[in-house]
Amino acid sequence: MTNLILLGATEGGLFDFDATLPLMAVQVVLLTFILNALFFKPVGKVVEEREGYVTTSRAEAKQKLAEAEKLELDLKEQLKAARLAAQKVINEAEQDSDQLYREALALANAEANASREEARREIDAQREKALIQLQSDANKLGDMIVERLLAAK
């Protein structure tokens, strides 16, 4: 202790150089090794595993997103093609129905014309028959009038 007094240190002062300083240094080093072995390495391992999991999850998510976008584009193209095909089918059906309508209309007109022509022929035949009958009756009546006029004279 006399050595310490010579250095100007008093007992219980700010810097007390006795056996506690090396003991504290040994405790800090030992505590560092124990904490490193028991806490920091497992925590570091968990952090690295979690970081790896997050990295792989992000990569998988990006890959799935890219696949989803590709599928979306494919589906949009298929939908567009289906719409075009449906429009084509609708147009063809409209054309077919229009053609059937025109054919049915032409057939109905032809039948109406044929029926009208048949009716006209029938009416003409009946008129001719009536005219012949009327002519015959007129001739008979004329002959009767002439006979009566001649007989009355």
| Complete DSSP assignment for 5-54 | HHHT--TTSS---STHHHHHHHHHHHHHHHHIIIIIHHHHHHHHHHHHHH
Taking the C-alpha atoms of residue 135 and residue 110, their distance in angstroms, rounded to an integer, is: 36
**The whole model's pTM is what?**
0.45
pLDDT in tens, the chain (153 residues): 445 444 454 555 566 667 777 888 899 999 999 988 888 888 888 999 999 999 999 999 999 999 999 999 999 999 999 999 999 999 999 999 999 999 999 999 999 999 999 999 999 999 999 999 999 999 998 888 888 888 876
How many separate domains does the chain show? Answer: 1
> How far is Cα of residue 38 from the mean position of the Cα atoms in its chain?
59
Q: Which domain holds residue 15?
A: 2-152
Taking the C-alpha atoms of residue 105 and residue 113, their distance in angstroms, rounded to an integer, is: 12
